[in-house]
Structure 1
Amino acid sequence: MLSHVFVGIADFERAFGFYSVLMDTLNLKLKFRDDDACWAGWMAADQPRPLFLIGKPYDGRPAAVGNGHMLALLATDRATVDRAYAAALAHGGACEGPPGLRPQYHAHYYGAYFRDPDGNKLCVCCHEPEAPAANPASN
């Protein structure tokens, strides 16, 4: 459905540091980094799209956060949501809602909400039921 998402940023190095950790936590690989143009993009290892892009706004004006705008990134499991949230906060993000179930969306929706260092609102979520606990080996 999506080709790409572009998030405007003010400080490329700061944003790249934040998003590099977040994307690595989500197992997304860096497709490119262009220091001259101050933009970078990530993708899934097995598909060319969609792309997640960061960069300075094309029109040269300062990046601005839109009210009501949020990007939700998909995690494969709840533990990844927890790790992504912790990584985001450890690298300059601000909490907008800690990891947890959000049954108002559906029974298995597990998400965490935060803002990047430029104030863009992000969510990392999983739509799958909690993974069953491993059974100890019986003797």
Structure 2
Amino acid sequence: MFDHLSLGVSDLPASEAFFLKALAPLGVTVVMQGPYGIGLGRQGKPSLWLVPAKVTPAPLHLAFAAETRAQVDAFYAAALAAGGKDNGAPGLRPDYHANYYGAFVIGPDGHNIEAVCQRPEA
């Protein structure tokens, strides 16, 4: 449904560093940059824009698709190493569905950042 979205952040350099480290295991990099913000994505297409917020941003939940459960594990480790706070270790979430494997961290502005693989284990 979405082509891209913008996320207001209170400290653009800190958020850029966090998201780049946390999302590196998912293949996310900076694909565009300018005075309007920083576009993160895969294969040259920005899907998430980090933009300076003029007011304190309200916390959001952002879930990023992972191809494998190992990517979810790697995201979680990288996000914690980048300063994220644990909000749910990697694991199955059978309340969602049988193959929902996710991990959750709280990022610099209080956003709940998730990586999820919805495939059966290989």
TM-score by length of 1: 0.80
**Pair 1:12–1:48, CA change in 2 (3 A):** closer
Q: Secondary structure at the match of 1:23?
A: helix
Residues 14-93 of structure 1 correspond to what in structure 2 (within 5 A)?
A: 14-34=14-34, 36-37=35-36, 39-45=37-43, 48=45, 51-57=47-53, 60=54, 62-66=55-59, 69-93=60-84
Distance 1:48 1:89 in 2: 26
Q: Which runs of 5+ in 1 are unaligned?
A: 132-139
Q: Offset at 1:97?
A: 0.6
TM-score by length of 2: 0.91
Residues 114-137 of structure 1 show CA distances to partners (whole Å, capped at 9, x for unaligned) of 111111111110001112xxxxxx
Which entry has the higher C-alpha Rg, 1 or 2?
A: 1
Kindly provide the amino acid, as one letter, of the partner of residue 27 in structure 2.
Answer: N
Matched residue count:
122
Sequence identity (%): 34
Residues 30-88 of structure 1 show CA distances to partners (whole Å, capped at 9, x for unaligned) of 21122x44x2011221x736x1111112xx2x23224xx31110000000000001111
Pairwise CA RMSD:
1.6
Distance 1:118 1:80 in 2: 23
Q: Secondary structure at the match of 2:119?
A: coil
